[in-house]
Amino acid sequence: MQRLNDVHELRRWREQVRREECLVGFVPTMGALHAGHASLLERSSRECERTLLSIFVNPLQFNDPQDFARYPQTLEADLEIAARTGVDAVFLGRRDDLYPAGFQSFVEPRGCALPLEGEHRQGHFAGVATIVLKLLSLAQADRAYFGEKDWQQLQVVRALVLDFHLECEIVPCATLRESDGLALSSRNTRLDPAARRNALAISRALGAAARAYAGGARDRARLEAEMQRVLSQTRSVEVEYAVVADAQTLEPWAGPPRAPRALIAARVGGVRLIDNAALDEPPVGPLEL
C-alpha cells in the first residue's frame, strides 16, 4: 500500500494508474475508520482494479471548533484497516497542502443542502462540497463510495457531480449497524456507556416510523409523531430534528409517489449523532427491532 503525502504525490500515482488503464475506486474519509468504512473499502476493492482512500479531517466542514478538536484521530489503526481491505494507495491530506495561504474559492451548495443539517450546521455543506470537489478532481476516480448514514451529504454530493459535470459514478452504500441497531459512526467512540444505551432511542425511533409506514401510515405528521413518541421515552436524548423528508430534495415529504426518508439528529451525552432510514423499503436487520 502506497502512502501519498501530498497533492503532488497523489497526482503522480493517478498518472501511473491511468497509464495502466485501471478502473479506480475512491473512498474519501476523515479517518477514525470503523467497520462501515471497511465495508466501503472492501466493496471498492471488489469492484475496482485500484482503490484509493483519502484521510483528511476537513476543518472547513466543522461549524463547531470543539467538535473539530475532538474528532478522533487514529492513523495507525486506519492504515491497518486500509491494508486489510485491499487499499492500493492512501492519500494523507494536510491542511497547508489542501488549503494553502491565499485559498479563496468555495462551493456553496443550495437546494437539498439547505434544510436539516444545512440549518443546524451553518456552513457545513459548503465545507463538504468544497473538499469533495477538490478530492474528486484530484482522484479522477471512476467510482466514489459514500455511506448512506450521511444521507443528506450523499444527495449534496450527487448534485455536485451533476452540476460540475464530474465524470465519477457515486456509489451509495447501506449503513452498517451494531446488532442492537446503533448506526456505526466515528463519533460513537465518544459515547460513555450510559450515552451508548440512550443513543439506541434513535434507531428505535426510525424502526417505529418504518413499521408505521409498513402498516399503512402515509401521513407525515403521524410518522413524525411516532418518532417523537419513541425519542421522548429517553429523557437524555436532545432531539434537533426527527422528520420525514423527500429522499432526494430533503424538503418535508409531500406523500407518495415521492420516496420518504426518516432522518434524525440528536445530542446524546454531549455527542451529536445522525441517522436515517428509507420508509418505503421493508426495515432490515436491527431496524426490525
Q: Is 34 tagged catalytic?
A: no
**Residue 67 or 280 having the CB closest to ligand PAF:** 67
CA gap 210, 178 in Å, rounded: 18
54 to each of 44, 57, 93, 130, how far by Cα in Å?
A: 13, 10, 7, 15
88 sits near ligand PAF (criterion: CB under 6 A): no
Nearer to ligand PAF, 107 or 128 (CB): 128
CB 203 within 8 A of CB 182: yes
Selected from 17, 24, 30, 32, the binder of ligand PAF by CB under 6 A is: 30
Candidate list 42, 78, 150, 226; residue touching ligand PAF; CB under 6 A: 150
**Residues listed for the chain:** 289
Residue 148 makes contact with ligand PAF by CB under 6 A = no
Total residues contacting ligand PAF by CB under 6 A comes to: 10
Beta bridge partners of 245: 252, 261
- Quick check: 155 binds ligand PAF (CB under 6 A)? no
Q: Is 25 in the site for ligand PAF (CB under 6 A)?
A: no
Cell numbers given for 19: 497509464
Regarding 58 and contact with ligand PAF (CB under 6 A), the answer is yes
In the complex with ligand PAF, the residue whose CB is nearer, 55 or 195, is: 55
Residue 100, number of CB atoms within 10 A of its CB: 10
131 is a site residue for ligand PAF (CB under 6 A): yes
User: Among 6-14, 28-36, 194-202, 251-259, which window interacts with ligand PAF (CB under 6 A)?
Assistant: 28-36
User: Binding to ligand PAF by residue 78, rule CB under 6 A?
Assistant: no
- The reply on whether position 173 binds ligand PAF by CB under 6 A is no
Q: Which is nearer to ligand PAF, 149 or 204 (CB)?
A: 149
Residue closer to ligand PAF (CB basis): 30 or 141: 30
Does 144 contact ligand PAF by CB under 6 A? Answer: no
What is the arrangement of strands in the sheet containing 89-92, beginning at the earlier edge strand? 2-4, 89-92, 50-55, 24-29, 143-147, 169-173
- Contact call for residue 32 and ligand PAF (CB under 6 A): no
Residues 193-232 binding ligand PAF (CB under 6 A) are none
Q: Which of 34, 37, 120, 165 is catalytic?
A: 37
CA distance linking residue 239 with residue 247, whole number of Å: 20
Q: Which helix (H) or strand (E) holds 213?
A: helix 200-214
Please pick, from the candidates 89, 128, 243, 247, the single residue that binds ligand PAF as defined by CB under 6 A.
128
Catalytic residues: 37
Applying CB under 6 A, the residues found at the interface with ligand PAF are: 28-30, 58, 61, 128, 131-132, 150, 153
